[in-house]
Amino acid sequence: MKRFLSIAVLIALLAMVLPASMVVAAPAAQGEDYTVQADDWLSKLADKFYGDSNAYWAIMAATNKANAEDASYAKIENPDAIEVGAKLSIPPNDEAVAFMADFDPTAGDVSVLFASGAKGQLLVGNWWTSGGEFAGVNEVYKIYRAENPDVELIHAGIAGGAGVNFQGANLTKLIAGDPYDTFQLHAGLEAELYTPETYLRPVDDILAEAGVLDVMPEDLKALLKIRGNTYTVPLNIHRGNVMWTNTRVLEKAGVAVPATFDEFFAACETLQAQGVVPLGMGTTDGFELGHTFEVALAGTTGFETNQGLWNGSVSWTDPVVAQALENFGKMLDCTNEDRGSTGWVGGIDLVINDQAAFNIMGDWAYGEIIAKGALDYVTWNSPPGNQNLFFLVSDGFAIPKDAPNPENAREFVRIMTRKDAQENFNMNKGSICARTDCDYGVFPEDRRAYFQSAADDFASSRIVPMVAHGSGAIPAWQQQFYQIVNQFSSDRDVAAAQAAFVLAAEDAGFPQ
Ligand code: GAL
């Protein structure tokens, strides 16, 4: 009693010295249920109950656990989207504090936010967080969830185009023995980042059982083999080199679609004279400058020389590399000045929003064009000099040796090999199937033409692996390449960039 009194006195004293708002924000000592009101959002509630707006994760986890026992509680998949009237479980303060002490949302540590199904969880690590990207992968999730209602599938997305943030987080989890059940990676040399013999399970048996090898393009099969084994189940084939074009902007400016560098620079001048941004770009994800330079490089050198630069048969001292850097520099002069304040999605958005004439990006940008309703006026062309070149970018999924739910992961990648799953995924994602028998004629009418053109071009073009998207060079070389291109984009020192390319190629094992 005495103790209770002293606590009551203490509270009364605090009430006198603390501002009123802090007293109202009394921590939830007991835990309670709460019904979402208009103008509530989770971090605001976390602040109200715990004085810590970050602790909304604890509310999400507790509510999802409660939902597994009692469906009157909400199921929260996205903490940014809670509905008015939803019933939440607010855990006691000490539980919330303990939860937050162990939880790092940036490390892909999200399985603790969800309950487990009768057959466990399926934690899917990936970087598909933009509108078009999520729309694509969600189609695979829908199939998986319908066929596996006893598994709790968790989309563990880490934002950052081309996997720039995901890859490091994923590697850390793998090495720590705490991997995702399955994770996204590019077909090709990117698998080396994960020391596949040590950390990954070969998937050759899954591909064979699914009967998919007969319909998988040969170029892709070759790219997937690492010292005789395959570690990646592919889902798609993206074309990395597309020049997205706003026809309304071009028409208004009286500019024709350029095919060569000279035509591109002439169009750039005309557009700039009218105050129009010629080439919309965003660079904050970190891969975009390297990506655009790769496209300019191959467009300048042509197929054979470009291939030679990456396989060591052509030296980076070649004058054509200097010419490519000059072309790239001039292209940068055609971009929006604030390109350093947005990412690849912001770059294509400039074209979608009539603020720029062109954007050079892979056809994942088509996913944004679809999701944002711009199919009527945004079309596709080859970037300068890229006619007959198809930059091959393929996404797939791997299964770690230590996957906590390996059976669930096997089923997930097995579904991914299927024609129906690939068609549903790709018609939203902007890529073609990783199988040759998909029927683009059944895709929604307004987008059939693009997919058919990509499939035709894939069959008839020279196939170029892409360094910025894991297929063209080992990860260490890719990183050096990015650094050199980023440096060049600010100092425009052609000789220094070329010298640095030489050193990077030598580091990668190709004496110049
Ligand atoms: C690529 C990936 C695409 C798309 C893009 C932007 O590397 O293959 O699926 O997601 O990055 O994030």
The model's pLDDT over 376-425, given as tens digits with 9 standing for 90+, comes to: 999 999 999 999 999 999 999 999 999 999 999 999 999 999 999 999 99
User: 291, 478 in Cβ contact below 8 A?
Assistant: no
Structural tokens at position 291 = 């990506």
Q: DSSP H helical segments within 176-302, as ranges?
A: 196-199, 204-209, 218-224, 247-253, 261-273, 288-301
CA dihedral 299, 304, 310, 315 (to 10 degrees): -100
Check if the beta carbon of residue 387 is closer than 8 Å to that of residue 464: no
Q: Report which secondary-structure segment, H or E, holds 489.
A: helix 475-491
Reported as a single tens digit per residue, the pLDDT across 224-280 is 999 999 999 999 999 999 999 999 999 999 999 999 999 999 999 999 999 999 999
- The DSSP letter of residue 210 is T
Ligand 1 centroid–CA 359 distance in Å is: 15
Q: What DSSP designation does 148 have?
A: -
Find the length of the chain: 512
Q: Please give the number of the atom of ligand 1 that sits closest to the Cα of 130.
A: 12
| Atom of ligand 1 at shortest range from CA of 431 | 9
| pLDDT reported for residue 106 | 79
Query: Which pLDDT score, from 0 to 100, does residue 14 have?
Result: 37
DSSP label at 117?
A: B
φ, ψ for residue 380 (rounded to 5)? -125, 145
Read off the tokens for 175: 């090495």
First-residue to last-residue Cα distance in the chain: 84
Q: What tens digit of pLDDT does each residue of 328-380 get?
A: 999 999 999 999 999 999 999 999 999 999 999 999 999 999 999 999 999 99
Residue carrying the six token digits 């958005």: 349
Q: Is the dihedral of CA 459, 460, 465, 470 positive or negative?
A: negative
Mutation test residue for ligand 1: of 140, 370, 469, 471, the one with most atoms within 8 Å of CB: 469
Backbone φ and ψ of 434, nearest 5°: -85, 20
> How many Cβ atoms from other residues are within 10 Å of residue 9's Cβ?
10
Strands (E), 75-231: 87-90, 121-126, 152-157, 182-186, 225-226, 229-230
pLDDT at 47 over 50: yes
Question: Could you tell me the distance, in angstroms and rounded to a whole number, from the CA of residue 140 to the centre of ligand 1?
Answer: 16
Per-residue pLDDT, 107: 78
Gap between the Cα atoms of 71 and 91, Å rounded: 17
Question: Which residue out of 238, 344, 349, 466 has the highest number of ligand 1 atoms within 8 Å of its CB and is therefore the one to mutate?
Answer: 238
Query: If you average pLDDT over residues 284-295, what whole number do you get?
Result: 98
DSSP string of 339-402, one letter each residue: GGGS-HHHHHHHHHTTSEEEEEE-THHHHHHHHTT-TTTEEEEPPTT-TTEEEEE-EEEE-BTT
Separation of CA 468 and ligand 1 centre (Å): 10
Give this prediction's pTM: 0.91
Instruction: Please report, for residues 39, 75, 175, 464, 496, the alpha-carbon distance to residue 364 in angstroms, rounded to integers and kept in the order given.
Output: 34, 30, 30, 17, 33
Instruction: Using pLDDT thresholds of 50, 70 and 90, give the confidence band for residue 3.
Output: very low
What percentage of the chain exceeds 70 in pLDDT? 94
Residue nearest to atom 11 of ligand 1 (CA): 162
pLDDT at 26 (0 to 100): 55
Ligand 1 in reach of 239 Cβ (< 6 A): no
Residue 490 CA to ligand 1 center (angstroms) comes to 25
Query: Distance, CA 311 to ligand 1 centroid (Å)?
Result: 24
pLDDT at 52: 95
> Which token pair is 383?
């970037």
Q: What pLDDT is stored for residue 109 in this prediction?
A: 80
Would you say 276 and 282 are in contact if contact means Cβ atoms under 8 Å apart? no
pLDDT tens readout for residues 94-134: 999 999 999 987 777 899 999 999 999 999 999 999 999 99
Please enumerate in sequence order all residues whose Cβ is within 8 A of that of 222, keeping only pairs 6 or more positions apart, or say none: none
Ligand 1: atom nearest CA of 238 is: 8
d(CA 112, CA 64): 10
Residue nearest to atom 12 of ligand 1 (CA): 161
Q: Is residue 505 within 6 Å of ligand 1 at its C-beta? A: no
Q: According to the model, what pLDDT value does residue 27 have?
A: 60
The pLDDT tens digits of the residues spanning 186-221 come to 999 999 999 999 999 999 999 999 999 999 999 999
Residue 367, strand partner residues: none
Distance 434 CA to ligand 1 centre (A): 15
> Which two three-digit tokens encode residue 200?
């990954």
Pick the residue whose CA is nearest to atom 6 on ligand 1. Answer: 161
Contacts of 281 (CB under 8 A, 6+ apart): 288, 292, 332, 335, 336, 339, 347, 350, 359, 360
Whether residue 297 has its Cβ less than 6 Å from ligand 1: no
Protein residue with least CA distance to atom 7, ligand 1? 162
To test the pocket of ligand 1, the residue of 237, 349, 393, 394 to mutate (highest count of ligand atoms within 8 Å of its CB) is: 393
In ligand 1, the atom with minimum distance to the C-alpha of 470 is 7
pLDDT over threshold 80, residue 467: yes
Q: Given pLDDT bands bounded at 50, 70 and 90, which one contains residue 29?
A: low
Q: Which residue has the tokens 């018609």?
A: 427
Mean pLDDT of the chain: 94
Q: Which ligand 1 atom sits closest to the C-alpha of 128?
A: 10
> Which residue segments constitute the domains of the chain, with CATH numbers given?
22-110 (3.10.350.10), 131-238+394-454 (3.40.190.10), 242-392+466-507 (3.40.190.10)
For the Cβ of 288 lying below 6 angstroms from any atom of ligand 1, the answer is no
Angle at 268 between CA 263 and CA 272, to 5 degrees: 155
For tokens 């009194």, the residue is: 5
**The two three-digit tokens of residue 18, written as one number:** 């603390």
Percent of the chain that is helix, strand, coil (3-state, to 5):
55, 15, 30
pLDDT at residue 22, as a whole number: 42
Kindly state if the Cβ of 161 falls inside 6 Å of ligand 1. Answer: yes
Residue 29 structure tokens: 């000592």
Neighbours of 19 (CB within 10 A): 7
pLDDT for 20: 38
Which residue among 127, 363, 392, 433 has the greatest number of ligand 1 atoms within 8 angstroms of its CB, and so is best to mutate? 127
Residue of 126, 128, 130, 133 to test ligand 1 pocket, by largest number of atoms within 8 Å of CB: 133
* Ligand 1 centroid – CA 410 distance (Å): 23
User: Could you tell me which residues are beta bridge partners of residue 186?
Assistant: 395
Residue with tokens 């073009």: 461
Distance 107 CA to ligand 1 centre (A): 20
Distance 469 CA to ligand 1 centre (A): 7
